[in-house]
Amino acid sequence: MGVNTERTMAAITDKTITINGMKHTVTAVNGMDRVEINNELHYIGDQILKLKMQQAALIEARNMIDQHNKDRDLDDLFLEMFSL
């Protein structure tokens, strides 16, 4: 998607679009009309959701490693204390 992420002054302009074969003038900000902005927000929302799901999976994997190491350390301590 084509979003300008620079922090510059927003340029509010008129933009001509075609809806059902008819030309209409709509307001645009930095070249994007309301529909384009909403589409971009939807796309970004989807990307954020995917990243949050990846983050959750990685946190779960890290926690599994931590728990595995704790369990192994407890097993080693048990063997040290009660081995003959």
Residue 4: what pLDDT? 62
Asked if pLDDT for residue 45 goes beyond 70, the answer is: yes
Q: What is the pTM of this model?
A: 0.67
Contact 33, 26 (CB under 8 A): yes
Asked if pLDDT for residue 55 goes beyond 90, the answer is: yes
- Per-domain residue ranges of the chain: 12-82
> With bands split at pLDDT 50, 70 and 90, how would you rate the model's confidence at 83?
confident
Whose CA is closest to 14, among 30, 27, 32?
A: 27
The least confident of 31-35, 51-55, 64-68, 76-80 is 76-80
Asked if pLDDT for residue 3 goes beyond 80, the answer is: no
